[in-house]
Amino acid sequence: MPEALGRHQMVRVAPAAWRTLLMRRPEYDGLPYVADWAERNWPLVVRRPAGGEAGIPLGLPLPPAQGKRRLSFVLEASALRAIAPPPRLAEAAPAAPPEWQPTLRRLLDLDPEARTFGGLAWQHLTGLSYLSPTSDIDLLWRLDGAPEALLAGLSTIASEAPMRIDGECLGANGMAVHWRELAEGMPEILAKDARGVSLVARSDFLAGAGC
């Protein structure tokens, strides 16, 4: 995988390359939205590679009305025409339900640079319906020199929010830790990156958080 691509990165595929790819994937024939996904300029998301995959592993989650299917693809770098991080929460917030809005404003006050992935991101990016009354919100925060203040703020907001707040704190070398696990203060925590999952010392993760 190119060094610039990591988990949650959004990529847009050249329509010609997308059509060629789908010709090799007849099992996806007839699925809603898939045939013209690239023509609509909708992105795919970088996922963790499975064993033996050669190329860039990408995912496409269909809306819940289509069974919440998660389609998997592998493409060469030459097929990609744009790469971007997941959208900022501030950009995606208007696509969220009205009852979420007060909580989203509090989250943005806490960290205006927070980003979102999951259902809210896909609803914002495609205009399709990905959220339901029981949906969670998935967020990304890049830690700075005061991670404990962020974690304390998240704990307070989450205790009063109408939806579950999930998400990851991003630290050094592309590693990510679920914010709740980090907030619990355990000496060792599970960290994810593009290659897999590993157990790391919480102090080590926080020491390199701003890298």
Catalytic residue among 136, 166, 193, 204: 136
What contacts 193, CB < 8 A, 6 or more positions away?
Answer: 6, 7, 173, 174, 175, 176
Task: Mark whether 136 is an active-site residue.
Answer: yes
Task: Mark whether 193 is an active-site residue.
Answer: no
Q: Which is nearest to 74 in space by CA: 92, 51, 91?
A: 51
Catalytic residue among 29, 36, 111, 138: 138
Q: Are 44 and 74 in contact (CB under 8 A)?
A: no
What contacts 169, CB < 8 A, 6 or more positions away?
Answer: 140, 141, 142, 143, 147, 150, 151, 176, 177, 178, 179, 182, 209
Q: What is the CA radius of gyration of the chain?
A: 18
- Residues taking part in catalysis: 136, 138
